[in-house]
Each structure stands twice: as C-alpha cells, then as structure tokens.
Amino acid sequence: MSISAYDPNNIFAKILKGDIPSVKLYEDADTLAFMDVMPQAPGHLLVIPKQGSRNLLDADPAVLVKLMPVVQKLARAAKEAFDADGVFVAQFNEPAAGQTVFHLHFHVIPRHDGLPLKPHSGGMEDIEVLKANAEKIKAVL
Ligand code: AMP
C-alpha cells in the first residue's frame, strides 16, 4: 500500500498555526474542533488532531485514541444544541473517497428526520451564522 506524504501547508495546518481564521468550538493539547465553512446542515463541525497526518490511513493510532473521545463529545453536543434526531459522523480518505483537505478530520453533522443534507463542499456560510451556531454548541459543551 502506498501512502502519500503529509503536506504541512494544508489549510487545516494553517488554522492550527493561527495563520488563517476559524470559528473555534473546542481545543485541548491534542485536538481542535471548529465550524465547517461550507456546512451541509446547520451545526456542521470538524474535529482534527493537532498532529499532522494526511488522513486515517497514515494516522498514528495513539492520536486516534485521543481524537475519538472528542469526536464523541462534539457529536453529543451538536445533537443536543440543534435538537437533532441524529448525528452524521464522516471521514474521507483520498480524493477518490471525496477528501479535499489533506489533514485528518472528522465531520460531525446534526441530522433531522426528512431534511436532506446540502452538497459536500457546497456554498460558503455567512460568518455570523457560523458564529451563532458555534455559540449554541459551546453552550452545551
Ligand atoms: P473533506 O472532503 O472531508 O476533505 O472536507 C473538507 C471540509 O473542509 C469541507 O467540508 C469544507 O467545507 C471544509 N473547509 C475547507 N476549508 C475550510 C476552512 N478554512 N475552514 C473550515 N472548514 C473548511
């Protein structure tokens, strides 16, 4: 199996370095969670490890051990904050699987019965809407 190299100049690495802004939700020594700028539903957020890996395929299992409890914490919070019926958790590996940003991340998307998801990497959301949705999630964290 060949695994492509991690590019430390990817956009999420720049968010981690503070070189570009993000609407942050949660941060600890190993993990960051922030709002997706092109949400597929209100409350769509991303959870990323601070240690760089391209995706799940090259990730250190020790990183995943620390990451997954945060994915669970944010999934629970997003479901409660948006009074959702369920939560979609997704993670894509390589372009063939839909990956567009090459720093491991988990999508967390509140789902409501009968409401379809918007397209992946669709339109940019208004920053004030993202901030308001982030406040709802932070209020239950
Ligand atoms: P993926 O296809 O899993 O690699 O998805 C990457 C996700 O990152 C998409 O849902 C994008 O909307 C999102 N995204 C891209 N750039 C940014 C950014 N600067 N801040 C927050 N989310 C982003």
Residues with CB under 6 A from ligand 1: 11, 22, 36-38, 46, 92, 98-101, 121
* Structure token digits, residue 123: 């339109």
Angstrom distance (rounded) from CA 81 to CA 48: 20
Instruction: Per residue of the chain (141 residues), give pLDDT as tens.
Output: 566 789 999 999 999 999 999 999 999 999 999 999 999 999 999 999 999 999 999 999 999 999 999 999 999 999 999 999 999 999 999 999 999 999 999 999 999 999 999 988 889 999 999 999 999 999 999
Pocket residue to mutate for ligand 1, from 38, 94, 125, most atoms within 8 A of Cβ: 38
Ligand 1, atom 13, lies closest to the CA of 36
- Ligand 1 atom index nearest CA of 38: 12
**Local structure of residue 120 (DSSP, 8 states):** T
Angstrom distance (rounded) from CA 111 to CA 134: 16
Q: Domains, the chain, ranges and CATH?
A: 11-140 (3.30.428.10)
pLDDT at 90: 98
**pTM for the model:** 0.97
State the catalytic residues: 105
Angstrom distance (rounded) from CA 78 to CA 58: 28
Q: What is the length of the chain? A: 141
- Ligand 1 atom index nearest CA of 101: 4
Pocket residue to mutate for ligand 1, from 6, 36, 127, most atoms within 8 A of Cβ: 36
